[in-house]
Structure 1
Amino acid sequence: MMKITFEDIYTIGHVIAENELYRHIHYPEMLTRYDSNFIAFKRMPSLDAFVETVGFLRDFHLRNGQKHVKFYFPENEKLGTTLVDYLKKHNYETGFLELYAINPRDFPTLEINPDIVVQSVTEDTMKGYIDLQYKIDLQFGENFAKQKVDLNKKHFKDPAILQVIAFYKGEPAGCLDVIITADTVEIDGLEVLEMFRNKGIGSRLQRFVMERFPDKRVILVADGEDTPREMYQKQNYQFLGFQYEVQKIYND
């Protein structure tokens, strides 16, 4: 069985520079998307190297009108005390991601609920999907939500990405994207509108993926400090690793 790592996770962005220490990812099409504009360290940096890299990325982003810096660290490595102290002192947001995988046959069987209908997005349902995504993305600001519309339309035309929408009693209620590769499918952007949560819609969306791709391993990344990770563990996903991330948003 192939080993799955964070390197297998789909990234929206272009590698514009790389050296022995890091990869620099940039996505000029959507400068407000932090997860597409960052530096990923290939090995754990010293404090001096981190500070120098922050200065580089800050200057680069300022030239592009961006007000953030974001960094990912090597997977399965914890941050050292010196670096943690520096991050706290300088008001960085620190978190970690967890990587999970499951064989579709291990996903729990679900009771049929006629109120929930899950479908691949088509030309006929694209508007409902776009409107639903817009509502979800407003939490990151109106400008972000508007820019995401173009990205969603681009993904609709990509044969390696399957967009999925869930309806609850006929109303668009939840969605996800599936990133398709030769050996895996990645569940990305699983979201359910707050008013429709706790009705089994998230599980039904996942079940759709399991049935659509029974011969591939299903992978996803969860916020290590958020509650959905507990759901994935109960659904028989297997923990594969973790990765720390930090970011800082500047006011000027």
Structure 2
Amino acid sequence: MKHVTFENIDNPATIFAENELYRHYHYPEMLKRYDSNFIDFKKMPTVDSFKETANFLRVFHVERGQKHVKFAFPENEKLSDELTIYLTNEDYDIGFYELYAIQPENFPQVSNHPDIEIKVVTEGSFDVFLKLQYEQDLLFGEEFATQKIGLHKRNFANPNIVQLLAFYQGTPAGTVQVIISDEFAEIDDLVVDDEFQRKGIGSRLQKLVMDMFKDKTIILVADGEDTPREMYQKQNYQYIGYKYNVQKVYE
């Protein structure tokens, strides 16, 4: 398997600024997307350097009407006790992401199901895709869901991104987007509507990705504290590493 790091994960944001300590990512097209508006530390900060950086990002975001700050830390490095205590006392939400990879031939066999049909999104089905995505994105607020429409449209126009749409008995039930590079195919935004959970739709969406990109390593990022990571482990994905992140939302 090719060497994989979090650096291989796609992010639509651009690097707004960079120094020896961190990279500052900014995505003005979608200010509510925390994962594209954040600071990524290149080395573990001290409490003092974190405070300084957090003050900078807070001012930067307030000037742009953003109510959050988010920070990511070097992959496969744990937070120091001192930093953890400070972040906890300051009411930051502390979490971590996990990176997984698999060779397509190692994905479990999935039988066809007469009630499930999966198609590549085209101009004729894009509105259906958008509607389902919008309904899912509303969980994070109407403003976020509205901004996300623009991202979906940019992705649809991007030749390096494939969008898939799953139907259950003719009803739109799930989606996934695949970001393609020379060596990797990244699974992103894998969503199955609550009404159609536990019917094998997620597995069949992934299986089509495996079939479409047999010559690439398939990669994805999972929330380290979320249930889907257990599914990926059962599906023979290889655990690669972790990356701590913290965020705070100001009301």
| TM-score, with structure 1 as normaliser | 0.99
The one-letter code matched in structure 2 to 1:161 is I
Distance in 1 between residues matched to 2:156 and 2:135, nearest whole Å: 18
Q: CA offsets per residue over residues 176-223 of structure 1, 9 Å max, x none?
A: 110000001000010101111000000000001000001100000001
The one-letter code matched in structure 1 to 2:197 is R
Distance in 2 between residues matched to 1:245 and 1:11, nearest whole Å: 15
Aligned to 2:125: 125
Spell out the pairing of 1:168-207 with structure 2 (5 A cutoff): 168-207=168-207
Q: Which runs of 5+ in 2 are unaligned?
A: none
Q: CA offsets per residue over residues 209-250 of structure 1, 9 Å max, x none?
A: 000001100000001101111100000000000000100001
Q: CA offsets per residue over residues 54-98 of structure 1, 9 Å max, x none?
A: 000000000001010000000000001011111111111110000
Distance in 2 between residues matched to 1:221 and 1:57, nearest whole Å: 25
Distance in 2 between residues matched to 1:210 and 1:17, nearest whole Å: 36
Distance in 2 between residues matched to 1:72 and 1:118, nearest whole Å: 35
The one-letter code matched in structure 1 to 2:134 is Y
Distance in 1 between residues matched to 2:7 and 2:197, nearest whole Å: 31
Q: Cα offset for 1:154?
A: 1.1
Q: Cα offset for 1:111?
A: 1.7
Aligned to 1:71: 71
Distance in 2 between residues matched to 1:149 and 1:49, nearest whole Å: 36
Aligned to 1:23: 23
Q: Cα offset for 1:150?
A: 1.3
Q: Cα offset for 1:2?
A: 3.0
Distance in 1 between residues matched to 2:236 and 2:227, nearest whole Å: 15
Aligned to 2:227: 227
The one-letter code matched in structure 1 to 2:200 is G
Conservation of the 8 A alpha-carbon contact between 2:2 and 2:217: no
Distance in 1 between residues matched to 2:224 and 2:175, nearest whole Å: 21
Spell out the pairing of 1:1-252 with structure 2 (5 A cutoff): 1-251=1-251
Distance in 2 between residues matched to 1:231 and 1:165, nearest whole Å: 20
Conservation of the 8 A alpha-carbon contact between 2:17 and 2:24: yes
How many residues of Structure 1 are paired with residues of Structure 2 in the alignment? 251
The one-letter code matched in structure 2 to 1:47 is V
Distance in 2 between residues matched to 1:12 and 1:86, nearest whole Å: 31
Distance in 2 between residues matched to 1:45 and 1:238, nearest whole Å: 29
Distance in 1 between residues matched to 2:233 and 2:32, nearest whole Å: 32
Percent of pairs with identical residues: 58
Conservation of the 8 A alpha-carbon contact between 2:95 and 2:245: yes
**3-state SS of the aligned residue for 2:2?**
coil
Q: CA offsets per residue over residues 33-62 of structure 1, 9 Å max, x none?
A: 111100000000000000000000000000
Distance in 2 between residues matched to 1:228 and 1:155, nearest whole Å: 24
**3-state SS of the aligned residue for 1:48?**
helix
**3-state SS of the aligned residue for 1:78?**
coil
Q: Cα offset for 1:147?
A: 1.1
Q: Cα offset for 1:3?
A: 1.2
Distance in 1 between residues matched to 2:120 and 2:72, nearest whole Å: 32
Distance in 1 between residues matched to 2:190 and 2:2, nearest whole Å: 25
The one-letter code matched in structure 2 to 1:117 is E
Q: Cα offset for 1:112?
A: 1.4
| TM-score, with structure 2 as normaliser | 0.99
Distance in 2 between residues matched to 1:156 and 1:24, nearest whole Å: 26
Distance in 1 between residues matched to 2:69 and 2:12, nearest whole Å: 16
